[in-house]
A and B are shown apart, each in its own frame.
Chain A
Amino acid sequence: MIENRPILNMISHAVLILGVVIVALPIWITFVAATHDPVRMTQAPIPMLPGGYFWENFTQTLFGGGLSGTESAPVWRMLLNSMMMALMISFGKIAISLLSAFAIVYFKFPFRMGFFWLIFITLMLPVEVRILPTFQVIADLGMLNSYWGLSIPLIASATATFMFRQVFLTIPDEMLESARIDGAGPLRFFWDILIPLSRTNIAALFVILFIYGWNQYLWPLLITTETDMTTIVMSIKQMLEAAEQSPQWNIIMMTALLAMIPPVFVVVAMQRLFVQGLTETDK
C-alpha cells in the first residue's frame, strides 16, 4: 500500500462489488428462474428471489425428456456427450502436441522446419472460417454423429505445440546429457524426464482445453443430426426455439445452469492453473 486513503478504499470496494453484481446478475436470474414452477415463469415480471421448485426442476430436466413437446435426448445423455467431447479434445490435443513438440525440439531431421510451419498455419484457420469443406471431409469419412467426428477436427492446434516447445527449450541440456550417459533412449527420456518436468504446464493447458472443448457450439451443431449425440451447449438453442411456442423457462434455465456448472467449476477450482494456462497459451 502506498498511502492510506480510507475513502478511496471504500470507493474501490464499492466499485468492485458493483462489478461483481453486474457480472453475476445474469447467473442469478438464471438460478432464480430454475427454482420456480412453469406457471410462475409465465407472469411478468419474473421473480428475483428463488422459489421452492429447484429439485423438481432438477430431476425433470436431468432424467425427464427435457422440454415437453420436443423430441430430444435426456439431459444426462447430453452432459455425457459434452464430457466425452471435452475430454477427448483436451487429452488428444495434449498428447499429439507433446509428441510433436518433442520431435521438433529434440531431433534433427530433414523437413523439421517444414513440419513446424505446417503446424503453425493451423493457428490461422479456426473452424468457423472453414466450416463447409471440413464438414464435407467429415461426411466423406463417415464420421458424422460420432465422438471422433466431434473431437478430431478440433484437436490439431499450434498453440499447444508452441507452448510445449517453449517449455522444453527451458529444460537444461544437462538433463539430456546425463540421461544419455545413464543409457536412456529418446522415449525413456520423454516419459521419465520431460513429462514429469512439464506436469504443471500440462495441467494448466488441460483447464483451458476442457473449457474450449465443452463450449464448442457451431461444430457439434453441424455434424450431429441424431438426438443421441447432441451436446448440452447446443441443446440450449433448440430449447430457445421451442420456447417461442411453449415457454418453459424453468426447464430451459435449469438446463443452462447444468451446462455451465462443469466449466465454471473447473475455472474456479483450478484458478491458479487456469490463469497460468491462459497467459501461457495466448502469448
Chain B
Amino acid sequence: MLKRVHFPTSLLPYLLVAPQVIITLVFFVWPASQAVYQSFLIEDAFGISTEFVWFENFAYLASDEQYLGSFGRTIFFSVCVAVLSMSAALVLAGFADRIVRGATTYRTLLIWPYAVAPVLAGALWVFMFNPTLGIFPYILEFVGIDWNHYLNGSHAMMLVIFAAAWKQIAYNFLFYLAAMQSIPRSLIEAAAIDGAGPVRRFWDHIFPLVSPTTFFLLVINAVYAFFDTFGIIHAVTQGGPANATTILVYKVYNDGFVGLDLGGSAAQSVILMILVIAMTVVQFRYVERKVEY
C-alpha cells in the first residue's frame, strides 16, 4: 500500500487528495445518501407534503407486479446479451488465435464497435429493422415473418438484445484473444503430439484455461447489460411496447423523471446500488484468484 520510503507528514497530501475527495463527497456520497433517504419517503404528487414511511416503498416494490416483471426481464435480457456476445466472441477469438498471419488485421476490424455509443448502436439497429424501410423486415417477409418491434413485444426484446450484444462482442473478443494468446504454446503442442485434434484441444485445453476470463467477462457483461444499455432501450423502444423492454435502469429513470414518483424511484436506485456493490465484490474476489491456473 504505502511505499517503504515516503515523504514526511505535511499539509501537502491533504491538498493532493482534496480535489478527488471533494468531488466524491459532493457528487457521489451526498447524492447516494439522498437516494437512500428519499427511498424512505412518500411525496404527494404536487411535492407539498412528504411523509417518512420506513420501508413502505420497498414493500410496495416487492409486491408490484410491474417491478417484479421488470426484474425478470432485466435478468433475461442480461443473460441473452452475455451468452450471445460472449459465445460469438469466443468462437471468433478461437479462430483468430489459430491464424498465423493477419490476426492483428482481424482484431482491428473487430474491435471498433466498442467505441460506438449504446444509443448509436440502438439507432443503427432500429434503422435496419424499421418495419417499413429496413432491410431485415424486407428479407424476413420472404420467410413469412411480419416484423414489427413497435407492436410485438418479443420482436422489440430481440432487437435490443441484438443491438446490445453486437456492441459488446468487441470487448469480449479482446479479452478472450488476450487470454488465449497467453496460454503457453508448449501445452497445446503437447496435446497435439498426444493426438488431440483442434476441436478436442479447444474444448479440453483452451476453454478450461480461459475460464477465469469467462467468469470475469460474465460479471462485466452483466454490469453492462444492467446499467450501460439505457441508451439502447431509450432510443429503440422507450421500454415498450407495453413495458416489454422496460429494464430496471430504464424504470428508475422513467418513474423518477417522467412519472415523478420520487420515493419509488429512489427505492429502485437503492436496490440497483446494492446490485452493483454485489457485482463489484464478486469481481474483486475474482481478481484475487485470477493468478491460479
Chain B residues with CB below 8 A from A155, complex form: 23
Return chain B residues, CB-CB under 8 Å to A156: 20, 23-24, 27-28
Q: Which of B1, B192, B227 contacts A128 (CB 8 A)?
A: B227
Residues of A within 8 A of B265 (CB): 132
Question: Is B79 close to A, CB under 8 A?
Answer: no
Q: Say which size band chain A's interface belongs to.
A: 35 or more
- Distance A5 CA – B100 CA, assembled complex (angstroms): 12
- Within the complex, what minimum Cβ distance (angstroms) separates A158 from chain B? 9
Bound Cα distance from A102 to B6, whole angstroms: 11
Within 8 A of A (CB), among B173-222: 174-175, 178, 185, 188-189, 192, 198, 216, 220
**Residue of A23, A136, A222, A263 touching B170 (CB-CB under 8 A):** A23
Known: A23-B170, A121-B28, A275-B174. A263 touches B287 (CB 8 A): no
User: Do the beta carbons of A125 and B276 come within 8 Å of each other?
Assistant: yes
Instruction: Report whether B235 and A237 are in contact in the complex, using a CB–CB cutoff of 8 Å.
Output: yes
Mask of A101-145 contacts with B, CB within 8 angstroms, 1/0? 011111111101101001101111110111111101100000000
1/0 per residue, CB under 8 A from B, across A225-248: the answer is: 000000001101100100000010
Contact of B125 among A26, A218, A266 (CB under 8 A): A26
Q: Is B80 an interface residue (CB 8 A)?
A: no
Contact between chains at B19 and A99 (CB < 8 Å): yes
Partner of B108, one of A12, A29, A121, A271: A271
Whether B111 sits at the interface, judged by CB under 8 Å, is yes
Q: Name A's interface SS.
A: helix
Query: How far, in whole Å, are A122 and B29 apart by their CA atoms in the complex?
Result: 8
Report the minimum CB–CB distance from B222 to chain A (whole Å): 13
A100 within 8 A of partner (CB): yes
Which of A25, A27, A30, A236 is B235 in contact with, Cβ under 8 Å? A236
- Give the residue among B13, B128, B189, B216 with the most A Cβ atoms within 10 A: B13
A27 to B272, CA, bound (A): 33
Our pick among A29, A110, A153, A263 for the contact of B135 (Cβ within 8 Å) is A29
A218 to B257, CA, bound (A): 12
When the two chains form their complex, are residues A137 and B26 in contact, meaning their CB atoms are under 8 A apart?
yes
CB pair A122–B28 under 8 Å, yes or no, is yes
Is the Cβ of A134 less than 8 Å from the Cβ of B31?
A: yes
Listed stretches A39-47, A53-61, A63-71; interface member: A39-47
Contact A129 B21 (CB under 8 A): no
Within the assembled complex, what's the spacing in Å between the Cα atoms of A221 and B111? Answer: 27
Instruction: Among B118, B174, B198, point to the contact of A8 (Cβ < 8 A).
Output: B198
B115 and A264 contact, CB distance less than 8 A? yes
CB contacts (< 8 Å) of B249 on chain A: these are: 128-129
Beyond known contacts A128-B230, A187-B12, A252-B123: 19 more, CB 8 A cutoff = A9-B98, A9-B99, A15-B91, A16-B96, A24-B109, A109-B9, A121-B28, A128-B252, A129-B276, A132-B266, A133-B31, A133-B32, A133-B266, A137-B27, A152-B27, A217-B117, A236-B235, A249-B127, A260-B115
A169 to B5, CA, bound (A): 11
Distance of A73 Cα from B150 Cα, bound (Å): 29
Residues of A within 8 A of B135 (CB): 29, 45-46, 48
Tell me if B252 and A44 are in contact (CB < 8 A). no
- With a cutoff of 8 Å between Cβ atoms, the chain B residues found around residue A263 in the complex are 115-117
Residues on A with beta carbons closer than 8 Å to the beta carbon of B30:
133, 137
CB-defined contacts of A182 to chain B, threshold 8 Å = none
Instruction: Say how far B144's CB is from chain A's closest CB, in angstroms.
Output: 17
Contact among A46, A97, A129, A275 for B134, CB-based, below 8 A: A46
Contact of B99 among A12, A104, A214, A274 (CB under 8 A): A12
**0/1 interface trace, chain B 92-119, chain A, CB 8 Å (1 if under):** 1001101110100011111111111111
Nearest CB on B from A103, distance (A): 4
Q: What's the Cα separation between A215 and B8 when bound, in Å? A: 42
Does B48 count as interface, using CB distance less than 8 angstroms?
Answer: no
Question: Which A residue sits closest to B33, measured CB to CB?
Answer: A133
The answer to whether B192 touches A125 (Cβ under 8 A) is no
A99-B16, A173-B4 known; A19 and B110 CB under 8 Å? Answer: yes
- In the complex, A211 has a CB within 8 A of chain B: yes
Alpha-carbon distance A268/B235, docked complex (angstroms)? 26
Is A130's CB under 8 angstroms from B269's CB? yes
Q: Which residue of A lies closest to B134 (CB)?
A: A46
The answer to whether A283 touches B287 (Cβ under 8 A) is: yes
Chain A residues, CB < 8 A from B28: 121-122, 125, 130, 156
CB neighbours (8 Å) of A122 from chain B are 24, 28
When the two chains form the complex, which single residue of B24, B109, B138, B256 contacts A118, counting CB atoms closer than 8 Å? B24
Measured CA separation A29–B34 after assembly (Å): 45
Q: Smallest Cβ distance from B46 to chain A, in angstroms?
A: 17
